[in-house]
Amino acid sequence: MPLLHVLRHGLRLIFMFVLLTPAVGVANDAPGRAYPITAVPFSDVRLTDTFWARRIETNRTVTIPFGFAKSAEEGRIRNFERAARHEGPYEGKMPFDDTDVYKLIEGAAYSLQNHPDPELDRFVDGIIAKIAAAQEPDGYLTTYKTIDPTKSPAEWLKPGPKWDLELEGSHELYNSGHLYEAAYAHYRATGRRTLLDVALKNADLIARTFGPGKRTTPPGHQIIETGLVKLWEATGERRYRELARFFLDQRGRAATRKLYGTYNQDHLPVTGQTEAVGHAVRAAYMYSGMVDIAALDADPLYRAAVERIWDDVVSRKLYVTGAIGARHKDEAFGDAFELPNRTAYGETCASIANVYWNQRMFLLSGDARYVDVLERSLYNAALAGVSLKGNTFFYPNPLESDGRYAFNHGALSRKPWFEASCCPTNLARFIPSIPDYIYAVEGDALFVNLFAASRASTAVGGTRVAVQQTGDYPWNGRVTLVITPDAPRSFELRVRIPGWARNEPVPSALYRYADTAAAAYELRVNGDRISPALRRGFASVTRVWTPGDTVTLVLPMPVRRMVADARVVDTRGKVALERGPLVYAAEWVDNEGSVLNLVVPDAAAFKEEHRPDLLGGVTVVRTAATDKAGRPRRLTAIPYYAWSHRGPGEMAVWLERGAGPAAVRR
């Protein structure tokens, strides 16, 4: 055979091997391989702003170390040591305390990826060694069961062997899900398999235990579904993604077992569900997993179902802050338009899950309306969950306080820790991942989704493109992008024009602006004003880009008045204030000690002032107001995320609306 033919044949075989062999190693675009659109990972994004970069640094230096210290103090880390020795007792009152350690490892891994820290790296390795030692020989890993399956940490949970009939509440599969998320993050950050191998051994056990012809009981608390997809992304092992779908497909199958009910979203098959019900965190994690499967399997039934549920949330069950879950009872969604203010639950974990869900919806569809909801949840409900100092937290997030009702699990303000501390540790893993949501790529298109001063580098249609974003968002709506491809290249730049800049606070009729439309946004390329077509909420600019091309976006940021659908009882006759992506709140300390009797006239003019000395630097808004008796008052409002830093007292997002010629009645 001629040498040239041999070489060609060999190259063809190599090509086919590479093409057909499942990818091994961690993808840099999680969960991009499953989706038509790929998020530019935070490892390729460097924040240079003064808003998010500061919060991420606080998370790195305060929140993560604080969480590890509390986990050590309260026995969460010792439980792994005791499980390794099969010696009790289990420390803690919750069956899911293992997940706090996993979430902290995930947050530390994300932090290490952009901020190397040898000391933190060694500390995490030490905890991973304890976790590996606690794993049983067959791969099982839930410390309270390993320590003593005859005892349960929670009064509401019956003791029993692993995978017992109490799987509805045992959290064994939930624990595994957070293990997988942490293992993926750690491998992605370090390249080391220490925790990934633990996760894979556990997942292989679950795959041997659950599936067609085996156990068919789904998890009581969802998250293993998205974790399994990440293991598939890390290894290319198809059985992990198939197991994720299996667990989702088992929900609501009354012919095979007794159903858990609406609390666990186990009342109907997932493809037959039409509204968001039950525990809001479980629900949003499940919906995230459903989007993963809709993307992976190109499944129209999954996609249609999750779109119906999303529409139900955004049209009937979304707080103006982006929070979800109205009821303290069961930490659950309420009925349509059931959105109380003072007793709102709005769990921090649910807001974080809402971001995860909406990011996936965007990656599947390319529609900016999902980023609009993501941004609202991110800047308001989720961010309010952690204090500026990074060491106290909200579990629920009400939209009103009288200064007496202890809404935060027995407290009037943020607490340093909880008996169930899912929210502090969820924040620890979520905050460092925020740069993941800024940019994305689809073929020859580069998306700019969020606005934060940053530098990023990614491949667009085979060409490396650097993006430098400058600006002072969210305080100022002027954003500049410098586009630098390696060589002149034609591609499409899609810049999100936020719904709030298009006179649409949310992509539904649930909320609307009561005042006149704001000035139109401006877009310029190299100084020349352009009017590109809007493509699913993105300004689309296709041209040959050359190094140093500059795009300037100006988003006017007047203070806007929002009103809610009249079917939301608690907001009738009231108005909420918004500026840019930020929802505002009136707090007692700025308003003569009381805000619940304030009335905002329709004709009131707002004055804005940036206060670098206040609450880490915020823009406050002021206007003339009255009390309910008509006496003159002054109103000062701050961003909602910054409330409750100056002592307990009255707070309100929704304020009484004054009558006047400009009033718009619903």
Active-site residue set: 331, 422
The DSSP H or E segment spanning 364 is helix 348-365
Distance CA 436, CA 112 (A): 15
Cα-based distances in Å from 275 to 239, 272, 305, 315, 573: 30, 10, 9, 11, 28
- Laid out side by side, the sheet with 522-525 consists of 45-47, 454-460, 463-471, 478-485, 549-554, 522-525, 528-530
Closest CA to 348 of 406, 413, 424: 424
Length of the chain: 666
Tell me the three state secondary structure of residue 237.
Answer: coil
Distance CA 374, CA 223 (A): 19
Structure tokens at 508: 């539904």
- Answer yes or no: are the C-beta atoms of 360 and 288 closer than 8 Å: yes
Task: Mention every residue, 6+ apart, whose C-beta is less than 8 A from residue 143.
Answer: 79, 80, 82, 83, 90, 97, 98, 134
Torsion sign across C-alpha atoms 17, 21, 27, 31: positive
Distance CA 624, CA 611 (A): 19
Distance CA 430, CA 439 (A): 17
If you ran DSSP here, which 8-state letter would residue 37 be given?
S
Closest CA to 579 of 296, 365, 311, 379: 379
Strand positions, DSSP E, 597-662 = 598-601, 607-611, 618-627, 632-639, 650-652, 654-658
The DSSP H or E segment spanning 552 is strand 549-554
Distance CA 98, CA 117 (A): 24
Determine how many CB atoms are found less than 10 A away from the CB of residue 607: 11
